[in-house]
Amino acid sequence: MMGIVMKKVSLSVAAVTVAMGLGSASAADLGKVYTKAPAPIVVSPWDIAFGGAVMSNYMFRGVTQSNNQPAGTVYFEPRYNINPNLQLYVGTAATSISFANRAAAEIDIYGGIRPTFGPVAFDFGVFGYLYPGGTCTAGIAAVAAVCPNEANPVILANGNVMKKDVSFYEVYGKVNYTFNDYFALGGNVFYSPNFLNTGADGTYASITGKLTAPGTFFGTSGIGAYVSGEFGRQWLGTSDNFYGTGIAGDPFQFGIKYADYNTWNVGVGFTYKVFTLDLRYSGTDMSKGDCNAFTSDYNASQPNNVTPINPGGFGSKWCGDTFIAKLSADVTLGALK
């Protein structure tokens, strides 16, 4: 009996051995298959944002920079992400303007750092505003004294004056807190030791808010919407004597203390892919007389707007309430990949 059992075991082992051999032969016939691990996805820390816009009026803190006329702008901003929560950036932009000194354009050069901590995003940097191509500007009666070194000064009938170069820089800090997908609040502070090269320092602070509509607000159209607003205050110091009243004995003979003012804007926007249409109301509480003294508006002609810093009495509409329509396109290379 034992012999029969041993014989069956031997036959079973032999059968398994043959089966394994056939399996190995079949695999050999098919060739060896190697599974290669997928290459790791390498995400570049570099990115570039760029875009442009056309607008019905270029407003800067409640003051038109384009004589209440349409303007255009383009920008280019390389970025470097040190990690997902820390970004370095530099940028440049060009915007059409209409100043009394006939400057060709506003050229911006800026750079900074953007740290993020959960829902809180910061932005710290330096912003330079360059206005090339300007010409010294003054009224006919004062042009020889105000612009003695200018071969072809701009002469204004209203007597306003403006330096050939009004370039300046600001340092800034911003913070934005995102409560959820729909609501965010922010704050901004800008400081310049020589605002618009007037000799006066300038500090601007504001609070901002944005309410974004749910993605399904317009169904599956891909259109997004938001409501946003800002309230800010601009503090301004005293100018150098170029902008003084020039009146002997006047407290502002050698420089004027520009009027501080509040400014605000509120609007609604619609987004589609890379495009944004923003419709906005902007206003200030600056008087027409103080606005004229601050802006050197070459169109200022409204009489009876005398203020201590605007003895000529001409008033400017450059700081008044206005409506702005802006169509912009903003793209990043990362989003295009």
**Domain boundaries, given as residue ranges, for the chain:** 44-336
Residues of the chain scoring pLDDT < 70: 1-37, 39-42
Q: SS3 for the chain, per residue?
A: CHHHHHHHHHHHHHHHHHHHHHHHHHHHHHCCCCCCCCCCCCCCCEEEEEEEEEECCCEECCEECCCCCCEEEEEEEEEEEEECCEEEEEEEEEECCCCCCCCCCEEEEEEEEEEEECCEEEEEEEEEEECCCCCCEEECCCHHHHCCCCCCCEEECCCCCECCCCCEEEEEEEEEEECCCCEEEEEEEEEECCHHHCCCCEEEEEEEEEEECCCCCCCCCCEEEEEEEEEEEEEECECCHHHCCCCCCCCCCCCCECCCEEEEEEEEEEEECCEEEEEEEEEECCCHHHHHHHHCCCCCCECCCCECCECCCCECCCCCCEEEEEEEEEEEHHHHC
Place of tokens 């004995």: 249
In this prediction, residue 156 carries a pLDDT of 96
Spatial separation of the C-alpha atoms in residues 228 and 109, rounded to whole Å = 26
Distance from chain centroid for Cα 117: 21
What local confidence, expressed as pLDDT, does residue 37 receive?
A: 65
Q: Residue 326: helix, strand or coil by DSSP?
A: strand
Residue with tokens 């946003």: 228
pLDDT at residue 177 in the model: 98
Contact in structure between 290 and 310 (CB atoms under 8 Å): yes
Model pLDDT, residue 28: 45
Pick the CATH number of 44-336 from 3.40.718.10, 1.10.1660.10, 1.10.3720.10, 2.40.160.160: 2.40.160.160
